[in-house]
Amino acid sequence: MPSKFTDEYDRVKANLAIPSNTDKLSAEEQKLIDNLILLMEASGPAPGHAAALDTLREQCQRGLFKRIFGMDKDREANGILDLSRTDATKNKKAAALKTLRHLYLLSKFGGHDAWALSLPKSYRNWATGELENADADSLKTKLKDINEYHTKRDLKNLQHASQKALAWSQKANVICDSVGPNTIGRKLIQRWFADEDHQSDAKISALAARLSTGFQKISRACNSGRMILTDDPTVRGDGNWENSEAFAYRLGGQRLNVIYIEKAFFGKGNTLEGSKNWARILIHELTHSQLNTDDVTVPGDAHPRYSWHPQGIKPRKDSFHTEYAMNNADSWAFFAVDAAGMLTNSERNVALNPKP
Amino acid sequence: MIPRRASLGTGAALIMVTVSLALWAGGAQDSQNPSADKEIDTMSPDLPGSGASRVPPPKVDALERNGIRYEPALSGLPLDATDVSGWMRATNIASGEVLWLAQVYTNPDPVDPFLPGGGRNMIAMKRISMSGNMIEVEDIRGRRFLVDPETGTSTPSGG
């Protein structure tokens, strides 16, 4: 069963503030801790304080010459332990710092602000749980581990995906503003949401208003500077979760705006592939967390209405009516990709229609 | 004094519970925009739950034998089925008549309330083949089952 990052975030925030009770921190070290505490705002990490994360990483990486020649092999761990000078609570504070050592502001790679957390691959828990009962040797080993779950290339791709998700959501919102006869907005709403009973001007306009409000919320969440992308280390090895592309808690499920990026995210096999699919996934997940959508399973079906569903996701009065489509995350996501002009005819047909 | 204090305490507790519930409900609607569209916010009443994006399961070739097609059943399942794993259908190819619809294996995992789709993922089929006079079905977890082609009743076959 997954474990929410929001809970870990609150633990990290609390443990970061544990004062040193063995040996006073230097003014420079205390300043770093203070800046990290400022970073940890209740609504998520504040981009304005992201520089503290780089300082923390420098603390763990300094002395390159010594490290290369094996004279300071434990620098990565010592960088954190130097800042964790407490007695009984040392592991907790070290875990808080270890989490932040792997937190990145993605706008470093260009574009708008979003966050990515990439804990070491070997972890099977959030850092607080992973380090909680570790003895001194094991603690050092775990702190030294910087082989991250998401590579730097993954992080760059996530940044681009997040940028696209924002642009496409904004475009979808604009398109919903104009749904008169022969407009692209009307055509797209008919294509992805309007069944045979929802073809009138009044009904199309009502759907357009709901979609517009929804895409505004998605754009805001994506552009808030507080969206966090991470995998959930507690489900590593659990095929039910880890083999998904991504998942998110539905509206009200957790305080922070977190999307859990899982193993299949960068894989193949879905209707779309590559950066187009990554942006589609982020919009899909944002509709869960911001609009409370579902992956709608029509009674009698084995699969939810993903684009690859044998019957497709074209709205049909008798089998996948308008309210199902309006509640279905992939319908929203494909609408946005289509609104951005990014779907090929073939991809659109696969998503909408029954498969041979 | 004591009864009065108790009554004040009860009143305070009631107020706190009411305020907490109101705050929770407000937060559940939209923490960023309290005036957001109500229709959007109430799309699905089940909280907290989750949603996931998933890739399709492997495509499974149907097995045709003696004029009958055996294949995974992906639609037309019983409407009250709480576990959608392992459903299979046998159809007379010539007439189109469905001979049986049966669940040849189940999902053994406990219900996970956070999983979409009723708390259980569908465990997809990986292969349908003949094994002597029986049909052998393998799921994506590597479990194998022998299925009676006449009735759809199944037994685990190891593996």
pLDDT of residue B12: 42
Q: Which long-range contacts (CB under 8 A, 24 or more apart) does B74-80 make?
A: B74/A301, B74/A302, B74/A303, B74/A310, B75/A300, B75/A301, B75/A302, B75/A310, B75/A311, B76/A300, B76/B101, B77/A300, B77/A301, B77/A302, B77/B101, B78/A300, B79/A299, B79/A300
Residue type, A178: S
CA separation (Å) from A313 to A295, A326, A347?
Answer: 11, 11, 12
Token digits of residue B82: 């709480």
The whole-chain average pLDDT of chain B stands at 76
Calculate what percentage of chain B has a pLDDT beyond 90.
54
Instruction: Classify strands A115-117 and A228-230 as parallel, antiparallel or unpaired.
Output: parallel
What the block records as the tokens of A215 is 């895409």
Q: Which of A90-99, A238-247, A289-298 has the lowest mean pLDDT?
A: A238-247
What is the Cα–Cα distance from A1 to A238, expressed in whole angstroms?
Answer: 9
pLDDT digits 0-9 by tens, A59-70: 888 765 665 666
Residues from chain B contacting residue A303 (CB–CB below 8 Å): 74, 84, 122
Q: Which of B28, B31, B55 sits opposite A267 (nearest CB)?
A: B55
A251, B121: Cβ pair inside 8 Å?
no
Per-residue confidence (pLDDT) for residue A140, from 0 to 100? 95
- Lowest-confidence range among A52-61, A78-87, A168-177, A305-314? A78-87
Topology of the domain covering B63-158: Thrombin, subunit H (2.40.10)
> Which residue on chain B is closest to A258 by alpha carbon?
B50
The complex's ipTM works out to: 0.90
Examine the pLDDT at A39 and tell me if it is beyond 60.
yes
**pLDDT score for B42:** 39
Contact B86, B67 (CB under 8 A): no
How far apart are the C-alpha atoms of A354 and B15, rounded to whole Å? 54
**Nearest CB neighbour to B117, from listed A245, A293, A304:** A304
Whole-prediction pTM value?
Answer: 0.87
Report d(CA A239, CA A229) in Å as an integer.
20
* Inter-chain residue contact A213 with B31, CB threshold 8 Å: no
Instruction: Read off the pLDDT of residues A83-132 as tens digits, 9 standing for 90 and up.
Output: 998 778 899 999 999 999 999 999 865 668 999 999 999 999 999 999 99
Structure tokens at A150: 């998401």
